[in-house]
Structure 1
Amino acid sequence: MADGLPPTLADYARAATAALPPGIAAWAMGGAGEEITLRRNEAAFDALPILPRVLQRSAPDTGLTLLGTRLAHPVLIAPMGWQRLVHPEAERALAAGATAQGARMVLSAQATTPLSEARAAGALCDWFQLYWMGQGPTLALAQRAADAGYSALMLTVDAPVAGQRPREMRAGFVLPEGLAAVNLAGLPRVSGGRLEDLIAAAPAWEDLAWLCSAAPLPVLVKGILHPTDATQAIRAGAAGIVVSNHGGRVLDGLPASIEALPAVAATVARRVPLLLDGGIRRGTDVLRALALGADAVMVGRPALQGLAVAGALGVAHVLRLLQDELRIAMALCGCATLDDIGPALIFFNNGQEGGLTPTSRRK
């Protein structure tokens, strides 16, 4: 381990699991049901061989512009709640580590650090995640984010109710006393745990359209897998789409995010930024996601694992590993810029150039 830090994201995952108490490790690493989707998110990348082009010299430039901000690379930090469970500096450390490596961070609605303090710890902690809480509370929270200097909102739509996570249940995990989503203070929320109450309070398409028109900031929609939903979200005014299955934490048995990406990308057709969330563990995974239509990707568990192992330094190192691996992969594939990354780099998309088509592969 260079400088005592794990050399790969897989090593960070093992180190974090060993470092955390069993219950917190189960919460951080686990997924819904039998964790089929959790495993599939990563395995699906391995089923996409890369088809490089050679003898094309390139000095890779990973820069891009996303909703008006120039970023050094296409790796963002996904929203994750309750970060104080894994490190005392929580979102402050994550924001500092992300900003040190030029990575935009999405602060969770369930953050344990005030909006202004997280933003002060890292200038690129400038997007804020929302869950729907009704018109008044949701708009009030959106305004709090705008007042704190955030530049966009990300509405998570795929978790109107919590998934069942047996790994957490077996470990006896419960949120400790005193841990609070501090940015929700004073806002009314749905009381009780009845499924009927939660579903009744869940948002509908008209609520998304209202929020997109009323919010003080652009609204991206996170949790889209179906291309028709992507179309409806854009019609409702969404400023961006995030293809995501919630990291396999809500409904088990879903396709991997990368499997759902191509159809959504074809529907979105570059009308708004398209991000992919779920299963990114290597720079080559970033390359694959961009090749299949994503403009950028988000990572969650790897950043949380970096936080658990070494605080802000661990977060920064995880992001540095992904950036270095992406640049190496681009150089080896003959890609000078992100615009050079396209579907021709995926072997199974190249039936006319010697590869196998997805249909022939299944025979």
Structure 2
Amino acid sequence: MSTEIAPRTVHQPPLSLRDVETSAAAHVPPDIWDFISGGSGDEAVLRRNRDALDRVCLTPRVLRGHAEPSTAGLLLGSPTGLPTAVAPMAYQQLVDAQGELAAARAARADDVPYIASTLSSFTIEEITAQGAVTWFQLYWLRNRSRVVELVERAEAAGCQALVLTVDVPRMGRRLRDVRSGFSLPSAVRAANLPPTEAHTARMGLDGSSAIMRHTAEALEPALSWTDVEWLRERSRLPLVLKGILDTADAVRAVGAGADALVVSNHGGRQFDSAPASIDVLADVVAAVPDSCEIFLDSGVRSGTDILKALALGARGVLIGRPVLWGLACAGERGVRDVLSILRQELGDALAIGGCADLVDARRLRVTRETHCPNDHGGELH
């Protein structure tokens, strides 16, 4: 397995996230690129997320008299320059030596929260030291004492929320990783776990994914609402449940003490028959009280996508893979490029859509096209 990142060329600011993706794909090793980009099964949900977002249409308002719309917002009580948080993603050192540290610094500079993964390649303490508003993403481990330890460390390090991932009773079968026998290089590990509990992810075997084996060994497959209630009693931090798609689960989550929900299909990496996140967003928003903040995750690739999520009731969105693309291209500066593009695009979309701010965005009329051109120029029915 090749783990060498190709040398970077002279930095030129990209114009779109597609430009960032193209640049990243050109020099990230194929097996690492597949780990970043791939989904589960036939990757139907990957395609569905994009197609569904493309079908959403917003009707602009005119003659509104707003010269400079504001992209500033408030997420879980923290002021933000953009209604966006960096999604939790594992092993960011795969694409940049500074990994999570560089991404967190970029988040701090652009006033957006950074969500640190349980499976980060730097520790919670190292990440929070970068100064960003940091939320900690928790995978529920089989060893409950380890869960308690992680929560206590997150609180002590100054994390401002807990984000419990609830859609991974087991890892989805990601065929790209299975075919490549993907495993972590020796220099990358889950820094928040003891070495004895993280080594499996570096044990490559033909015809299997070391990451999948490690997840099966480490994560508790029988996570339940009782555990959520236990966690709610254990910590005073705002509690966010990530991976909600069904309205009944959304209602139950609020009853169990959740302060916010992330409507997410895990970026297409878990259940390959799941709906696109954007398609169920409005139903989830309608099912819970206004006091429960709703975020959209999975497939957001532009400022216009952010505006669509806001118009459907989301408080904000999570940005995942594009951050890794930016890291791969230019480290911290590359992530700042990604966030800068989103800020510019959202500002343009607000202005052209006739919105003064994010509150105005929620008043836009939403319709959906019946058919949507796909990448090959045909139509989806």
User: TM-score when scaled to structure 1?
Assistant: 0.90
Q: Which residue of 2 aligns with 1:359?
A: none
Out of 6, 30, 33, the position equivalent to 1:25 is 33
Deviation at 1:322, TM superposition (A): 0.4
Q: Which residue of 1 aligns with 2:302?
A: 282
Q: Which residue of 1 aligns with 2:314?
A: 294
The answer to whether residue 65 in structure 2 is matched with residue 57 in structure 1 is yes
Q: Which residue of 2 aligns with 1:99?
A: 108
Q: Which moved more, 1:282-291 or 1:54-63?
A: 54-63
Alpha-carbon distance between aligned partners in 2 of 1:306 and 1:320, rounded to the nearest angstrom: 11
Alpha-carbon distance between aligned partners in 1 of 2:213 and 2:144, rounded to the nearest angstrom: 21
Q: Summarize deviations over 1:241-285 as a string: whole Å, max 9, x none.
A: 000000001111211110110110110231211111011101000
For the 8 Å contact 1:30–1:249, the answer to whether it is kept is yes
RMSD of equivalent CA atoms = 2.6
Out of 272, 277, 295, the position equivalent to 2:292 is 272
For the 8 Å contact 1:161–1:198, the answer to whether it is kept is no
Deviation at 1:307, TM superposition (A): 0.4
Q: 1:307 to 1:15 in 2, by over 3 A?
A: same
Deviation at 1:8, TM superposition (A): 0.8
For the 8 Å contact 2:304–2:346, the answer to whether it is kept is yes
The answer to whether residue 319 in structure 2 is matched with residue 311 in structure 1 is no
| Local SS of the residue matching 1:271 | coil
Higher helix share: 1
Deviation at 1:169, TM superposition (A): 2.4
Alpha-carbon distance between aligned partners in 2 of 1:299 and 1:67, rounded to the nearest angstrom: 16
The answer to whether residue 150 in structure 2 is matched with residue 130 in structure 1 is no
For the 8 Å contact 1:75–1:299, the answer to whether it is kept is yes
Q: Summarize deviations over 1:289-333 as a string: whole Å, max 9, x none.
A: 010010010000001100011100000010010011001100111
Out of 152, 157, 169, the position equivalent to 1:148 is 157
Q: Which residue of 2 aligns with 1:12?
A: 20
For the 8 Å contact 2:17–2:338, the answer to whether it is kept is yes
For the 8 Å contact 1:158–1:223, the answer to whether it is kept is yes
Alpha-carbon distance between aligned partners in 2 of 1:286 and 1:179, rounded to the nearest angstrom: 32
Q: Summarize deviations over 1:16-68 as a string: whole Å, max 9, x none.
A: 11110010000011111111101111111110112101111212112222222
Deviation at 1:137, TM superposition (A): 2.1
Paired letter, 1:97: A
For the 8 Å contact 1:73–1:103, the answer to whether it is kept is yes
Q: Which moved more, 1:168-177 or 1:307-316?
A: 168-177
Paired letter, 2:118: A
For the 8 Å contact 1:109–1:181, the answer to whether it is kept is yes
Q: Which residue of 1 aligns with 2:377?
A: none
The answer to whether residue 244 in structure 2 is matched with residue 235 in structure 1 is no
Alpha-carbon distance between aligned partners in 1 of 2:179 and 2:367, rounded to the nearest angstrom: 41
Alpha-carbon distance between aligned partners in 1 of 2:168 and 2:28, rounded to the nearest angstrom: 26
For the 8 Å contact 2:232–2:257, the answer to whether it is kept is yes
Gaps of 5+ in 1: 349-354, 357-361
| Local SS of the residue matching 2:323 | helix
For the 8 Å contact 2:107–2:132, the answer to whether it is kept is no
Q: Which residue of 2 aligns with 1:222?
A: 242
Alpha-carbon distance between aligned partners in 2 of 1:269 and 1:344, rounded to the nearest angstrom: 21
Deviation at 1:114, TM superposition (A): 1.5
Q: Which residue of 2 aligns with 1:337?
A: 357
Paired letter, 2:36: A
For the 8 Å contact 1:205–1:236, the answer to whether it is kept is yes
Alpha-carbon distance between aligned partners in 2 of 1:88 and 1:14, rounded to the nearest angstrom: 20
Q: Summarize deviations over 1:202-249 as a string: whole Å, max 9, x none.
A: 310111011011124221100000011011011000111000000001
User: TM-score when scaled to structure 2?
Assistant: 0.86
Alpha-carbon distance between aligned partners in 1 of 2:359 and 2:155, rounded to the nearest angstrom: 32
For the 8 Å contact 2:170–2:221, the answer to whether it is kept is no
The answer to whether residue 233 in structure 2 is matched with residue 213 in structure 1 is yes
Deviation at 1:185, TM superposition (A): 2.6
For the 8 Å contact 1:153–1:218, the answer to whether it is kept is yes
Deviation at 1:13, TM superposition (A): 1.0
Structure 2 counterparts to residues 169-188 of structure 1, below 5 A: 169-185=178-194
Paired letter, 2:28: L
Alpha-carbon distance between aligned partners in 2 of 1:288 and 1:259, rounded to the nearest angstrom: 11
Paired letter, 1:213: E
Alpha-carbon distance between aligned partners in 2 of 1:12 and 1:201, rounded to the nearest angstrom: 36
Q: Which residue of 2 aligns with 1:118?
A: 127
Paired letter, 2:353: C
For the 8 Å contact 1:57–1:331, the answer to whether it is kept is no
For the 8 Å contact 2:140–2:220, the answer to whether it is kept is no
Pairs aligned (count): 350
For the 8 Å contact 1:139–1:215, the answer to whether it is kept is no
Out of 34, 48, 52, the position equivalent to 1:44 is 52
For the 8 Å contact 1:26–1:173, the answer to whether it is kept is no
